[in-house]
Amino acid sequence: MIQEADWDIFLKRLVAESKRAINAFSSEHPDEEVCYFAYDSEPCYGYVLTAFNTTRASLATAREQHDYHSRYLVDLLKHPNSAKQAFYHAKSHSVLPFCNNPGDFAYQHFAEIQFPEWQEFYESPDYLEAEKPEDDYLTNRVAHLFCHAIDRLVSEHAFAPLRLASPTLLGFSLHHHTPRVLQILNFPD
């Protein structure tokens, strides 16, 4: 069973490894303008990916998604019964002015941080499966961990070595859940 004190250790490890990844990215890609940093994880497998997106890549993905989804939605709404499911279709094919999926980032798997304890705990007979995915213990604990890690990285100015876009988004994605933006750095004036 994972104890509460273990989460403090996981936080320290996540922050330290994130700083290493940020510094490595800054050294390896000094000319890249970073517009989004995110954690990407499927906690039951015990890993966290650090993902970086660039302004150029984000805009290219946004344009591609826009072109596809807007054409598809127009075609869907031509059908006689489209009004019955218009909200569902609009929700399913909505677009954003940036790439929000770490799996589509320019550097989607820049560094991998291992937490084998999570997988071991998830696979143990002590783990209680939740009725709804949003009530899952590990999912909620890892989301909590990511919130604290992002807060700590911001307060310790860990993103300073990067060439940051205006604005720069910070967030996370958990498997089968919508990616979440937690903070925004470098707001335009």
Tens digit of pLDDT per residue, the chain (189 long)?
788 789 999 999 999 999 999 999 999 999 999 999 999 999 999 999 999 999 999 999 999 999 888 888 888 888 888 888 888 888 888 888 899 999 999 999 999 999 999 999 999 998 988 888 789 999 999 999 999 999 999 999 999 999 999 999 999 999 888 999 999 999 988
Phi, psi at residue 182, to the nearest 5°?
-100, -40
pTM beyond 0.85: the answer is yes
Structure tokens at 22: 């940020």
pLDDT score, position 12:
98
pLDDT score, position 94:
85
Domain range annotation of the chain: 4-185
Residues 6+ away with beta carbon under 8 Å from 51: 36, 37, 38, 39, 40, 102, 105, 107, 108, 109, 110
pLDDT score, position 19:
98
Bridge partners, residue 184, by sequence: 169
